[in-house]
Structures are given as structure tokens and as C-alpha cells.
Amino acid sequence: MQAYAVSYSKYMIAASMVLYTFLAYVALPSGKDVRRTCETLQRLCLGVFTVNAYLTMAILAGDEYIFTFGILQLLIVLGASVLYRTLYKSANMLMINNIMMLLSIGLVMITRINQAKAQKQLLISLAGMVFLMVIPLLRGKFDSLRKGTYFYGILGIAALGAVLLLGAITNGSKISFTIAGMTFQPSEFVKLLFLLFIASALCEENSKSHLAILTAAALAHVGILVLSRDLGSALIFFVIYLALLFLSTGNWNILAGGLLLGLITAVICFFLFSHVRVRVQVFLDPWTSIDGNGYQITQALFALSFGGLFGAGLFGAGLMQGMPSSIPFVESDFIFAAIVEEMGILFGICLVLLCLNIFTDFLLLAGSYSNKFYRLYTFGTAIAFIFQAFLTIGGEVKFIPLTGVTLPLVSYGGSSVLATFIMFGIVGSIFLLQEERLERFRQRYESEHSAADRSKLYEDAVRARETGGYRNNSDQGSADQDFYKDFKGVPIYDPTKDYENMNRFDV
């Protein structure tokens, strides 16, 4: 068994991830039948990955509890996926499966590093799944979400201000509260409020005075985060606002001006904050301070280079064969490096492609919505997710300076996981509203098309009588009676109306 764990399980882990990612991209442009087939196969891949990963760790660690925990995790994850499909027949299961796969990958690696933290992560994820199930039940009230513009903005600024004044300092930044032994990072939840705030504000009007007030409020969010030295979150908030503003107005000057403002702000922060200068210096040359400030990133680079194609070494020894714990804060800040070290570069590439798959899926959904509020929210969620993933992975591979943000659903961090579940739950609910809207359209179209066919038959019958086509009036009377019985209360199809333009029916 130990020989299997060391020699063969790594190939099963890699193969299941490659196949899962392939199916995600096959499902993306496909119809319902193909998607459902891919959905079933994806669950199978997730199961193969989870069982192999936990079985390997249990065998090599000599701890049966690890495998028991893995089976429990698998039952929860697959159970949640099946339950969501059962409750909501027209659900976007590609999104749900991708959520569960990213979560499973993170839990596997966190278990490898720290079992106690993995247990906490699973409990918080379970709470997130409850939100994921419950939020769609409220979708009938979603129209009222666009009415809370000022409430979202004021609550978000107040929450960030409270952290600035009263929050605990973590690694030089005020980003969290600790209540009853539990630590919360409010900026993760304020991100959700910020998305609702910007989406609801921009769906109303785009006058210069309105945009000036909105920009001031958005910069207030960003400014408080900068003062709290939570620069990674500040950057995410700024990019979300700039992207949504550009989508709403289509003004390239706004985009160029925003990017210039961001560049100027980055230069100011470089001279204003010492830890920013340290991160930039470490980014440029970590090797001169390998025993000091550059230790974390150099260890991550060693881990990435040690991973090989299938994980942990030149020939890929796999899980439990690396040294991820040598990286400080690895489970929260450097989870991607740990994954590549023990599961391989191939697995890491698939993880990046999976993040891009979620992003592309959300963009396609956003583009299909006629409701501007829903379109802006879905697009904003896509930007928030992919940009945060870029900051995390880009920092770990030394493509950009480190920012200290988590990889959504993968890194250890309860606030991030819970907030992401809620954000995605709203996206899933909007998708359900869209599907229900299309189903109403299909039913209306079929009814009106049928009415048109019967109307033509009636007109033919009338024309036949007028030209002597009926032998007697009783035949015509029978035709009239059948027609009026069929058409009672049914609107007559009007071919001059643009029934094929589904976007004119708003959610």
C-alpha cells in the first residue's frame, strides 16, 4: 500500500484534475445535455482526486483519521452538489462543481499542513454551503437589492472604519476582529457590500454629478483600506470599481484615467509605507535577503521548482514528499506554491485554468443579462474573483510583488471562504432567475406560435366557405365553435412583434 501511495497515486491525482479541467471547458459552451454529462463525470473526477489524496496521506502518515476526514469531506461536498441540483433543476452546475473542486483542493492541502486548521475550514465551508442553498430561495426578492445603494455604501464604510479604529494588527495591517476566540476579516464581507453598492448605483444613472459622488464613496472605501495598510484589498476594491465603471459607461478615458490614478497611488504608497518598499525590494531581488525579508518568497520559489511535473521532486514523488511547512503562513498566503510542490506543475496549471473557467463562465452569463443590475453584479464578481486569484498566484511565482491576499476557496481563511460562497450564491440565484425568464419566454412563444397556426387554419376555413369550399353552413359552424373554444382567453399571435429577441423581457 505504501508503495502504491508513493508511486502511483500522484498519477491518479494529476489525471483526475486534468480530466476535470478538460470537462469544465467542454461544458462551458455546450447545451444542457452535454453539460449534464460533463457534470456527472466531473463529480467522478472530484471523488477520484479526493479519495486518492487522502488515502495517500493516511498511508504515509500512518493515521487512519486522515482518510476518515477525507471521506467525510467528500460526502459533504458531493452531497451539497447533488442537493443543489435537486433543489434547483435549472442550476448552473458548472459553477457549483468548480466551487466544490477548488474547495476540495484547498482542504486536501490544508490537511497536509495542519489538520486542526483543515477541520475549521471544513466547518466554515459547511456554513458557506448552507448560504449557497438558502440564497436562491430568496431570488424572488432580488429586485429589491438594487434599492439599497446608500445602505450598502454607508455600511461598508462604517465596517472598514471600525476595523481601522478597533481592529487587531496582523503582519503590520489592521484587517481583523477577534470575537469569542474567532477571527473575522470584515473586508471580505465588505467586498460583497461594495459590489452591491457599485452595481446598484451604476444601474440607475450615469450623470457626471452622480458619478462624482459614487467615485468619492468608492475612494473612501479604498482610502480606509490604505490607512489600515490592507493594500491588497484596497487594490481589489479599486479594480472592481474601475471595471464596473468602464462596463457601465464604455468610456475609455475613464479606464485610462483610472489606471493612471492607480499608478500614481502605487508610487505614493511606495514612499509612504515601509512594508511596501520591503515587498518591492524582495520582489526585485529576494536572494540578497534570503535569511531575512526574502525568506518567505525564496522558500516558495524552491517549492515551485521542486514540484516537477507530478509533484515533489525531479521524478515526482507526490503528496507528503515535500516541505510546504518551511514556507511561513503557507496555508493562507502561499497555498499555490504548496500545491505545486506536492501535486506538480501540471496540477498547478489546471488550477489556474479552472480559475479562468469560472471567470469566463461569469463573463458569458453577465453578457446574456438584460437587467443591468444583475449584469454589473455578475461581472463585478468575476473581476473580484479572478483579480484576487491573479494577485495570489502572481505573487507566489514572483510575477508581481506579494500582496498577502488569499486564493479564493483554496487558501485557509474562514472569512474569505464564507464571503466567496455568499457572492457566488447570489450569482447562482441570478442565473436561476435568467433560466426561469427564458422558460417563461419559451412557454409564451410556443403558446403564441400554436395560436398562430390555429389562426391560419381558421382563416383558411373562412376563405374556403366564402369561395364555396364548405358544403353547408354546419361545417363552418363546427369550425367556428372549435376555434373560439380553443382561443378563448389566448392572445392572438402578432408577427410584427420581435418575439425572438429574448432580452426585451426583463427579469
Q: Kindly list the domain boundaries of the chain, sorted by start residue.
A: 2-439, 440-504
Residue 315, pLDDT above cutoff 70: no
Which candidate, 90, 92, 104, 190, places its Cα nearest to that of 427? 92
- pLDDT the model gives residue 466: 58
Q: Tell me the pLDDT tens digit for each residue of 463-484.
A: 665 565 544 555 555 555 555 5
pTM: 0.85
Decide: 230 and 174 in contact? Cβ < 8 Å. yes
Provide CB contacts within 8 A for 178, sequence distance 6+.
168, 184
Residue type (1 letter), 454 = R
If you average pLDDT over every residue of the chain, what do you get? 84
Residue 414, pLDDT above cutoff 80: yes
Distance from C-alpha of 382 to C-alpha of 424, rounded to nearest angstrom: 9
Instruction: Provide the CA 137 distance to its chain's centre, in angstroms.
Output: 19
Average pLDDT over residues 253-258: 89
The C-alpha cell that represents 418 in the structure block:
464564507
Going across the sheet that includes 173-179, the strands are 168-170, 173-179, 182-184
Average pLDDT over residues 323-352: 90
- pLDDT the model gives residue 220: 93
Q: Tell me the pLDDT tens digit for each residue of 23-55.
A: 999 999 888 889 899 999 999 999 999 999 999
Range in 5-9, 35-39, 140-144, 156-160 with the lowest mean pLDDT: 5-9
Phi-psi region of 114 (alpha: psi -120 to 50; beta: other; left: phi over 0): beta
DSSP letter assigned to residue 231: H
* Pure H helices in 307-371: 330-333, 335-343, 345-368
CA angle 286, 288, 294 (to 5 degrees): 35
